[in-house]
Amino acid sequence: MTAEAEPDPAPALRRAVRGYLDHLAVERGLAANTLASYRRDLAHYLDTLASIGVTDLASVAPGQVEAHLARLRVGNEGRRPLAASSAARAVSAVRGLHRFALREGLTGADPSRDVRPPAPPRRLPRALPVDDVIRLLEAVGPVSAAGGQAPLGLRDRALLEFLYGTGARISEAVGAAVDDLDLDAGAVLLRGKGGRNRLVPIGGYAVAALHAYLVRARPGLAAAGGGTPRVFLNSRGGPLSRQGAWTILRNAARRAGLSDVGPQAVSPHTLRHSYATHLLDGGADVRVVQELLGHASVTTTQVYTLVTVERLREVYATAHPRALG
């Protein structure tokens, strides 16, 4: 004689979750990976509710929602604590479920309304020290090497000088056209996101590197291609791709003894961060840096001021005789 399966103690909860996930898949079009994550998050939530005897969403109290999400951050019953980003996703899943239940008439209130996801730690942009930037730029060889530098070496030096000298995004650098450069005036037109173009100054080192590349290297590269107006070309004469620019920078970082893999890897955005941080360190006004970076809001630029404050703290802690007491 076989034992009868125990009835599901909370069929209403499971029906609500299935309905919500179907809504996300069909009406919202969420990706399969996101749906799988939400399904896991909500399964954990239902386990919590079942463990305290809650059998339908209408019976859930705000404190129970908060207690569940708090446990996710500290871990329990063999589960590791969730990182802030994963906990934030779990909050979204639970809040979405309760909003769905309220909208569908399954409940008369939303107990998760006032629950907020944990604030993730603010990641400061990584900026290289000036000496490291110089090492990186010189890793592709001097602009005026005796006997003439290889065309791709001249291009690589010009690209890195361009990125650091203008604070350009990688898409702005590889998208720049020859007509966007005014080397005599020391300026370049950058075509930014959302059609926001800006004219930025470019320093003497970058001007020299670009001039050497445009005169001694680009014509030969362009002869192999189809006549693209882009400044930076690949070995076949076509426009240099974003991935190609990444590879150039990664190779230069490796030669300079800087990290080219992992979270500390030098990236095109590292040069943009360094550009902004070094300007602020040199006394530039944050609103001027905002314009140079093409940020729509000064609050976006102000994150770089935190970098300089962190640097001041480091200097103080290591230099002041009574900093540690």
Q: pLDDT tens for residues 57-89?
A: 988 998 888 888 877 777 666 667 777 777 888
Q: Indicate the pLDDT class of residue 311, thresholds 50, 70 and 90.
A: low
pTM of the prediction?
0.58
Q: Would you identify the CATH topology of the domain 11-103?
A: DNA polymerase; domain 1 (1.10.150)
CB 290 within 8 A of CB 300: yes
> How high is the mean pLDDT of the chain?
82
Active-site residues, by number, are 169, 193, 269, 272, 295, 304
State the pLDDT confidence band at 6, using cuts at 50, 70 and 90. very low
**Whole-number Å distance between alpha carbons of 117 and 259:** 33
Q: How far apart are CA 291 and CA 206, in angstroms?
A: 20
Q: Homologous superfamily of 130-319 in CATH?
A: Intergrase catalytic core (1.10.443.10)
Tokens 């190779």 belong to which residue? 251
Find which of 12-16, 122-126, 320-324 is predicted with most confidence, using mean pLDDT.
12-16
Q: H or E stretch including 41?
A: helix 32-51
pLDDT tens digits for 247-304? 999 999 999 998 765 656 788 888 888 888 888 888 877 777 777 777 766 566 666 6
Equal fold, 11-103 vs 130-319: no
pLDDT of residue 71: 79
Sequence spans of domains, the chain: 11-103, 130-319
pLDDT band of residue 313 (cuts 50, 70, 90) is low
Amino acid, res. 106: L
In sequence order, which residues have a C-beta less than 8 Å from that of residue 164 and are 6 or more positions away? 133, 137, 206, 271, 274, 275
d(CA 238, CA 73): 50
- pLDDT for residue 262: 60
